[in-house]
Structures are given as structure tokens and as C-alpha cells.
Structure 1
Amino acid sequence: MLPIRITGEPVLHTIAGPVVDFDAQLRTLVDDMFETMEAAPGVGLAAPQVGVGLRLFVYNWVDDDEVLWRGVAINPELWLAPIPAGEADEDEESEGCLSIPSERWALRRAPKVMLRATDIDKKVFEIEAGGWLARIFQHEYDHLDGTLYSDRLDHAQSKAVAKVIRKSGWGVPGQSWMPGEDDLEG
């Protein structure tokens, strides 16, 4: 289990570097990230969220057809369909982030994406995704570029989330929470 960094930690606001070594240390990191994500609980977790500035994320989500989407995306590339105009729907498009625990905000995302990445065995794969899986991929990919979903909110919502961050004492380095130990959810 790994501590999850809270907004303000520099690694969350920095572009992550590529994974070069596919070794036992990387396998351990990926296994620990899955364990941490599941305990949080979350549907995705990027390496910067656990303090590691590498371009990889894990995901674990069951769609409406009860298909399990579980894997690791290492050195991913992501192509987005155009993002629809208009305001995000509070019920259908709200998302949370384990690095801004216990908060959810509506955010308009691309409805479809193409993810190309490498798995832990150095095999390249592609996934065309829509709906929530597309949202998960965009959210986690943003983490690799030092972007939190709160950075993408409209002006009114970004002011509200900034207030929550200040009130919670976040937004400064050195803060984290431990799934299963701390009373926080994302």
C-alpha cells in the first residue's frame, strides 16, 4: 500500500518522465499501485499520485455490460475525439480524484479516445474507449502531464475547488493520505 499524494505536492504538478527500465522494481510499483487503487477505492491511479514521476497508470473498471477493464498503461499516448460544447452535466459527468479526496466536480471530457501504451511485459496495445472508460483514461493521462482535473474546471467551479483546497489545508507540499487508514475518499 502506498500513500496517495494530495494536490500541492510538486510531483502532481510536473510532467512525468518516461519509463525506461522494465524490471522487478517496476513490477513491484505496478502491483503496489493496483493494491492502493483498490483500497482507496478508485478506478484509476497514476504513478505521480503515489509520488513517482513516471509515465504510467493503472485502471480497474467494470462497464455496464460487466466487462472488466483492468490493466497498466506505460508510456501511453492518448488521442481524443472533439470535446462537445456546452456545460458538463452534474449527474452524468462528475468525477473525483484521489489527490483531491472526497470531492467531485462536473467536467466535460471527450466522449471517445484511443489509448496506445505498453504493458508490463513490454507489449504495445491499443484500446478504443468511450464513456466512463474514456473519462478514466483522460483523467489518468492528465496526471502524467502534471494536470489535475481541477485545472480543467470552468471559472466558477475552479474558484469553489480552490476554496475547498484552502479550507482543507491542502495545496502545499508534503501532504498525503493512506487508503484503509485515513478517513478520506476520492
Structure 2
Amino acid sequence: MAIYKVVEVGNDVLREKAITVTKLGPHIDKLLDNMRDTMYANQGVGLAAPQIGVPKRVIVVDIGKGLVEFINPVLAEKDGQQIDSEGCLSIPGLVGDVVRAEWVKVKGLNRAGEETELEATGFLARALQHEIDHLDGILFIDKAKNLKRV
């Protein structure tokens, strides 16, 4: 598969609301595969399609416990609160503390077009929220406190 250059802050695609995927097929499978490969090549834990310049509602996440893929993900429920440091492949060298829900339920489609949902806590919940924010043009720096260079 292909490894893409990650789009960095300042590129308009990162601030746009991504388009809902209406047709699945080989092109979405290829997009998911390329996003996975790009995420791993950049040692990331998540990637949203806009981060490779594709304004579609598609995310991949792997916090070290296996790959999670969502097409048209929706944050269906959330509860609790956690605060932790975040960074982003699209904003290299910058980290900050972000308040997120401790528990989330995400619903969407898998690559077979089947409705799927996932309940997550802790770091996985944080990563899913971070990537879903990307689909709405929201970057972690919009929510972060104590931003610093690393």
C-alpha cells in the first residue's frame, strides 16, 4: 500500500467538515489500508482521512491493542472526564493538555458496510475523540491548555 505525507496545520482541509461516505467499495478499502500504513509509518496512534488530504469521514486508531477502523463515525454517547497530554501528526512538535470524556460509545460502519459500535475508556476513548474531532475540522490545539514545544 501507499504511505502518504501527513497534511500539517495551515492546510485548509484540516479545518473543513469532512464529507459523509455514501458508497463503499475498493476505493474505501484502499483508503483505509493507506491510512493504516501511513499511521504506522509515522508512529501515530490515530489518523483521520483529512490528515492525508482526503476530506472523507474515515478514521483509523491503534493504541497498541489492534487496529480500529470506522467509516462515518459518530460519538453516540460519552461520560466522565479525563485530562491528559495530546499531540498530533498534523501539528508536529507541539503538545498540550486536553479534557476529554473518560468513556465513549462510537458508532459507524466497518469496511464491509456493517453497522458497528465500540465502547472505549481511557487512552482509546481519547484517541477516538481526537480523530472524530478531525472530521469536524477541530484540532487538539483548539481545546488544549498548557501548549508546549517538545
Calculate the TM-score normalised by the size of structure 1.
Answer: 0.74
The answer to whether residue 68 in structure 2 is matched with residue 71 in structure 1 is: yes
Q: Report the RMSD for the aligned CA atoms in angstroms.
A: 1.7
Shift of residue 82 of structure 1?
4.2
User: How many correspondences in the alignment?
Assistant: 147
Cα distance, 1:126 vs structure 2 = 1.0
Match of 2:14 among 12, 15, 27: 12
For residue 141 of structure 1, what is the aligned residue in structure 2?
132
Residues of 1 paired with 2:38 and 2:47: CA distance?
8
Match of 2:109 in 1: 118
Name the counterpart of 2:118: 127
Letter in 2 for 1:18: T
Give the superposition deviation at 1:104: 1.7
**Amino acid aligned to 2:26:** A
Residue deviations 1:28-67, cap 9 Å, x none? 11111000000001010000000010001011122xxxxx
Q: Superposed, which structure 2 residues align to 1:166-181 within 5 Å? A: none
Residue identity (%): 37
Residue 80 of structure 1 aligns with which residue?
A: 78
Runs (5+) with no aligned partner, structure 1: 63-67, 165-185
| 1:112, distance to aligned residue in structure 2 (A) | 0.6
Secondary structure of the residue that 1:5 maps to in structure 2? coil
Query: Runs in 1 of length 4+ with deviation above 2 angstroms?
Result: none
- SS of alignment partner, residue 19 of structure 1: coil
TM-score in terms of structure 2 length: 0.91
Could you tell me which amino acid in structure 2 is paired with residue 45 of structure 1? L
| 19-28 or 7-16: bigger deviation | 19-28
SS in 1 for 2:116: strand
Unmatched segments (≥5 aa) in structure 2? none
1:22 — aligned with what?
24
1:6 is displaced (CA, Å) by 0.4
Distance (Å, rounded) in 2 between the aligned partners of 1:80 and 1:11: 27
Instruction: Give the Cα separation in 2 of the matches to 1:109 and 1:75.
Output: 20
Relative contact order higher in (CA < 8 Å, ≥ 6 apart): 1
2:88 equivalent among 53, 74, 97: 97
> Aligned partners of 1:18 and 1:83: how far apart in 2?
28
Q: Which has the larger radius of gyration?
A: 1
Q: Residue 170 of structure 1 corresponds to which residue in structure 2? A: none
Cα distance, 1:147 vs structure 2: 0.2
